[in-house]
Structure 1
Amino acid sequence: MGTDELYPADRLAAARRATAVVGLDALLLTPGSDLRYLTGYDAHAGERLTCLVLPAEGEATLIVPTLERPAAEASPAPATGVRIVDHGDGSDPYPLLVAALGGPVGAVGLADRMWAEQVLALRAALPGADQRLASEVLRELRIRKSPAEVAALAEAGAAIDAVHERMGEWLRPGRTEAEVATDIAAAIRAAGHVSVDFVIVAAGPNGASPHHGTSDRPIGAGEPVVVDIGGTMASGYRSDCTRTYVAGGPPPVEFVDYYAVLHEAQRAAVAAVAPGITAEALDAVGRDVIAAAGYGDAFLHRSGHGIGLDGHEEPYVVAGNPRPIEAGMAFSIEPGIYLAGRHGARIEDIVVCTPDGVARLNTTPTELIAL
């Protein structure tokens, strides 16, 4: 797919309209996924200011350090119609930003993850402007994926699936979690990702910690191993998939029993995805299966998170979120069961809600995998 499909020029116009609707005079976006979403520019985050100035009315200006201007010009940004202005080392870039606004502003939307030093510098440069979050505008634009975005996520899903399919090459008793993770990271890149976002290899008791990471602990025969991996493709869109493995011997009987419960819960939650179900109701589908089997307290986290240019973004599939799921929303379905000091398991697929149901973007088997 071309960058013009993933990063179409009409996004800036849509963002301008939405900015005005929420009562903001401009968006100010420093490097991150919002800037890339609107311009296609994967900007370097550093102490030199890079900022997209998008007035609700008027020309969009991308302010960049002089030494990064070639990268900005080589990105999809110029095709979206933004004007590029650069500033050299030793110069103050904030007067350029004020000038790009084209006049006084009463309220501006700042990138949600803008560095504090930039937030405070903008407060000094625009002392009369209220500062609000740009997500007031961009949340609604980004939460439903276009067909090109779904295709990019499917490409990422297929790439990470290809890594899981090779797990038997690396995961075996006696090797440490860290050794296995090193091989996985190389395979993530070889499968088409431009960067590795995370590699969790959690064996035995480490599997009871959902965000364990890795350690120098050797993997034992028959120990359950949770492998949660993801990366970023050249498109900017991300993968995230978890499977649970057993190598070198039979797993504990207790584990086999609750893995069957987890498998049923994950399949039920995926099948329940459809337009109109609320995020909290979807969270309850798998959670109720796990609770009915007596493992409710062992499911420690939400059922899922949105994915796109960020690994975690809206919608969040969690209790207390009444938002209805809509066609085009892409998110994980990842229930888990974690028994402290013993072992754990998680099954995670990325899915996209379709007009009449759901499509799984990870298609490898979800049964317990014996290597």
Structure 2
Amino acid sequence: MERAVAQAAGAGLTGLLVTPGPDLTYFTGYRPTAITERITMLVLDADHDPHLILPVLERGDAAGVPVAITDWADGSDPYPAAARLLDPAGRYAISDSAWAMHLLGLQQALPGASFLAMSSALPMLRAIKGAEEVDRLAAAGAAADATYQEIISVRFEGRTEHQVGTDLAGLLTGHGHSQVDFTVVGSGPNGANPHHEMGDRVIERGDMVVLDFGGLKDGYGSDTTRTVHVGPPTTAEQEIFDVVRRAQETAFAAVRPGVPCQEIDRAARRVIEEAGYGEYFIHRTGHGIGLTTHEPPYLVEGESQVLVPGMCFSIEPGIYLPGRFGVRIEDIVTVTETGGRRLNNTSHALQIVT
């Protein structure tokens, strides 16, 4: 919380207003039992101790939160109570997950104050992970790796994408995930859609299959992609796969402190463009990960934020050929003092499945 207040001051802000969601969990460990129309908000600024305003009926749930608490009762207007904790002319970053009705209520109570989205005002707020956070991300990555090692032994041919995706979800849960966020199974032409997820298409021999899956384990995210092939690939399929593998490895090799995020995207994109498939790489190279599976930093052209030890993000270049197939390889990587460290460690080779 002290670091966040210092970051806010450095950005010309009075403070932060943190509402239920990953930001509140990050600062306090508190997850309200129900996120409702009743405002709950942590106030962080340099002039006061951290303060949480919440409905009186939830005070018991927040008993262990290590900050001062102000409650309000149903039937009363919570916004004047919140306003008393704020600078009437302050400039505050507010969580992206805040309800619009709460922001409008604060604006009405404090017409002289201004509010900015947390992601735009303080995009790197949760980007640099501590050692314990990296350990949790590594454990989540290891669980996803174990899931992949098991899924490649199941039968693909003759089963639907949905059936394989259900297997993936079950394996993630079996390896300790409390929440499964996505199980992409893109077979054949469906693999050319990066966010296809899964459908009723029956997987056939000769299909390239994109497997992208992840969720939360002990509060931190996993996200990995491997591309497999049902039976032996054609020469052309193997060549395209090898381009993506080189792009992923080249991008990883570029990771080191002080390098702008966009340079990692450029490194991967350059390999794919030189191979003649630039127009088929249709998304950014990566995204940050932590309490959520997508968060800053983003590895994309135009992002000049430099890499700092402790940042964790995906590196996931791909080639998507409409009507034919897609290929993507994704690892979560953390920045160290000397370079990058992969948090996913399964083989990048094109795995043949049955």
The two structures have a TM-score, normalised by structure 2, of: 0.93
Q: CA deviation at 1:137?
A: 6.0
Q: CA deviation at 1:269?
A: 1.2
Per-residue CA deviation, residues 6-39 of structure 1 (Å, 9 max, x unaligned), is xxxxxx2222233333332232111122222221
Q: How does 1:63-74 map to 2 (within 5 A)?
A: 63-74=53-64
Matched position secondary structure for 2:62 = helix
Q: What is the distance in 2 between the residues matched to 1:296 and 1:181?
A: 29
Picking from 103, 106, 110, the partner of 1:122 is: 106
Determine whether 1:231 maps to 2:215: yes
Cross-structure match for 2:240: 258
Matched position secondary structure for 1:139 = coil
Task: Supply the RMSD in Å over aligned alpha carbons.
Answer: 1.8
Contact 1:52 1:62 in 2 (8 A): yes
Cross-structure match for 1:3: none
Q: What is the distance in 2 between the residues matched to 1:149 and 1:305?
A: 17
Q: CA deviation at 1:298?
A: 0.9
Identity of aligned residues (%): 48
Q: CA deviation at 1:62?
A: 1.4
Per-residue CA deviation, residues 135-178 of structure 1 (Å, 9 max, x unaligned), is 46643442221111111111111111111111134451111111
Cross-structure match for 1:331: 313
Contact 1:185 1:199 in 2 (8 A): yes
Cross-structure match for 2:163: 179
Q: CA deviation at 1:197?
A: 1.1
Per-residue CA deviation, residues 179-213 of structure 1 (Å, 9 max, x unaligned), is 11112112212211111111111100000000111
Q: What is the distance in 2 between the residues matched to 1:335 and 1:45?
A: 36
Picking from 271, 281, 284, the partner of 2:253 is: 271
Determine whether 1:30 maps to 2:19: yes
Picking from 281, 286, 294, the partner of 1:312 is: 294
Question: Which structure has more helix as a fraction of its residues?
Answer: 1
Cross-structure match for 1:241: 224
Cross-structure match for 2:342: 360
Q: Which runs of 5+ in 1 are unaligned?
A: 1-11
Which residue identity does 1:284 align to in structure 2? R
The two structures have a TM-score, normalised by structure 1, of: 0.89
Distance 1:160 1:59, change over 3 A: same
Q: CA deviation at 1:85?
A: 3.0
Picking from 71, 82, 85, the partner of 1:97 is: 82
Distance 1:332 1:32, change over 3 A: same
Cross-structure match for 2:327: 345
Cross-structure match for 1:14: 3
Matched position secondary structure for 1:255 = helix
**Count of aligned residue pairs for this structure pair:** 352
Matched position secondary structure for 1:221 = coil
